[in-house]
Chain A
Amino acid sequence: MIPRMTPNGMPAIRAVSLVLAHVPSLVRLGSKPLRALREVKDPVEYLRPHLRDWDAARTYAPNQVFIGNLGVDDLAARLVPWHRHPVAGAGRFGPDGEIMPEDEFLGLLATCDGFDLLALAGEIADRARPALDAHPVVGRESGRPAVPAGVSAAVLDERIERHKATPIVGADGKLLGAMLPGHDEDDTLTGQVLLENLACKATAALALRHLLARPGAIATSDVRYVMSCGEEAVGDRYQRGGGNVAKAVAEWAGCARATGSDVKAFCCAPMHALMLAGALVRSGLHDDVMVVAGGSLAKLGMKFQGHVKHAIPIVEDVLAGFAVHVARDDGVSPVLRLDAIGRHEVGSGSAPLAIMKALYSEPLARIGLTLLDVDRFSLELHNPEATEPAGSGNVPLNNYRTLASLAVVEKLIAREAIDEFVRTRGMPGFSPTQGHIASAIPYLAHARRGLTEGHLTRTMFAGKGSLFLGRMTQLPDGLSLVLERNSAS
């Protein structure tokens, strides 16, 4: 029996799951490769030497940190470049989730398609079905739809040539499947757009099932509200961002009594969603809220030109997804301090230090704390092996150094202590460049462990969103959350 939350109690983070799907064949369909390789005669052939097989993706140290098999300090201690130093004995599954191979994921995509728009080649469907049926989390007994029968190459060709289906071509050049458009004249329902939406739904659904399959997890029938904060804006020509991925994911995962909605704020959306979920729980409207997000197919291979130039593997070959169970205080799980939300407000301005103050020191000061009362900060966690070869720098390190500079300005540390601040309170970036997910989320499961079984007392999460990219405002966005060890534990 979970005790009722006290009037002053804060919501708790009961569980977190993080999943990856290794999809080298979909890299070509990422926004950047699609545009950059438009003039290349054979994009598949061009990309092939730079794509990794599943063993390489599975044993890649950042991916192992993502699913919880390695800690962030373990990663910091490993030899670089990480792509040249695979993790011996790396498992597919970890305490937080899994790295799903491509064949199975294509089957999973097909089970998420309620309109028969995605057709898989017979051979792919036949390979995916038994593997997926035996899956410990999304097997047949999970109640999900079956992997549909595959079709012949002739049928796929016809769909592509006559009906404008988007071809899915394997790294070996074989046709794996094709995604039909959902409408003849709707730019928001092309095969490409629908494949992006379906990939988002499938990875979010996989993460949610991982969460629901754990011992002691909330019963599927007790899930009443789901929030999705992924990047895809599902809709049609009359309402491009109509939604509602959350409800689609809940349906697929068998949460028959759930409803839900989508939260949009570019890459900052997960922070907003966690705050809103916490507020719904604290208000008493819902005892449990699931926050989910699927991956961004559009961002696959986003920095591939840098990888090709430097002859290293394209490490942006995975889709990511996560699910978080926000619930009433159970006396054990870490609590979300709703009295210490950091906000980038309209009037906060765009000077880097002003943004940092709004997101970090101001919310901490509100509850009588300073930056030094936080054991670990989770900021932008983009893997530098994805960004540095493309000239985008080490994003986490830059952000940690700015944060440490704020600690200097506030006279909390000496200038000489910046490196130590970054080393002890930061972490190396280990997230695929999946935007909203890389924005602080991948450390959440590590933090939950550290705040329950480990030695952490307090962690802080800050997400940023590039609202200006949508051309409706010059403003960025930012929101931070404090996660604390449960005082009852």
Chain B
Amino acid sequence: MNLRGKKVIALGERDGVPGPAVAECASRAGAEVVLTLTACYV
């Protein structure tokens, strides 16, 4: 998937992959991260 130049909303999960980790990956792939959130399901 080519994320360069795309806007990304990074949604993560605490016991899986947290939002900032998703955002870091998207950012390194050239995306603009516009929102980062992590959910906690417990």
Binding site for B on A (CB under 8 A): 267, 349-352, 380, 382, 387, 390, 392-393, 395, 398-399, 433, 435, 438, 464, 466, 468-469, 474-476
Contacts and interface: CB of A to CB of B under 8 A. Distances in A.
A431 to B, nearest CB: 10
B15 A468 contact: no
A474 B42 CA distance: 17
B18 A387 contact: no
Given A398-B15, A399-B15, A476-B14, A352 B42 contact: no
A14 B21 CA distance: 40
Give the 3 A-B residue pairs with the shortest CB-CB distance, closest first: A466-B40, A392-B41, A350-B18
A352 B21 contact: yes
A466 B38 contact: yes
Contacts of A392: 41-42
A272 to B, nearest CB: 17
A393 B41 contact: yes
Contact of A352 (B16, B38, B41): B16
Nearest to A352: B17
Contacts of A350: 12, 18-21, 24, 38
Contacts of A466: 14, 38, 40
Interface string B23-42: 01000000000001110111
Contact of B14 (A433, A438, A464): A464
Given A395-B15, A398-B15, A351 B21 contact: yes
A464 B16 CA distance: 12
Given A392-B41, A468-B40, 11 more contacts: A350-B18, A350-B24, A351-B17, A380-B42, A387-B42, A399-B15, A464-B14, A468-B37, A469-B40, A474-B36, A476-B38
Interface centre among A390, A398, A466, by most chain B C-beta atoms within 10 angstroms, is: A466
Nearest to A354: B21
Contacts of A474: 19-20, 36, 38
Contacts, number: 55
A267 B40 CA distance: 11
A395 B42 contact: yes
B42 A382 contact: yes
Contacts of B41: 387, 390, 392-393, 395
Contacts of A349: 20-21
Interface centre among B12, B14, B19, B40 (most CB of A within 10 A): B14
Nearest to A266: B40
A399 to B, nearest CB: 6
Given A474-B36, A476-B14, A468 B42 contact: no
Nearest to A391: B41
From A387, A399, A468, name the one whose CB has the most chain B CB atoms within 10 angstroms: A468
Contacts of B24: 350-351
9 contacts: A350-B12, A350-B20, A352-B16, A387-B42, A395-B15, A395-B41, A399-B15, A464-B14, A466-B14
B15 A438 contact: no
Contact of B42 (A351, A435, A476): A435
A438 B38 contact: no
Nearest to A433: B42
A350 B24 CA distance: 10
A378 to B, nearest CB: 15
A147 to B, nearest CB: 34
Nearest to A431: B42
Nearest to B10: A474
A469 B39 CA distance: 8
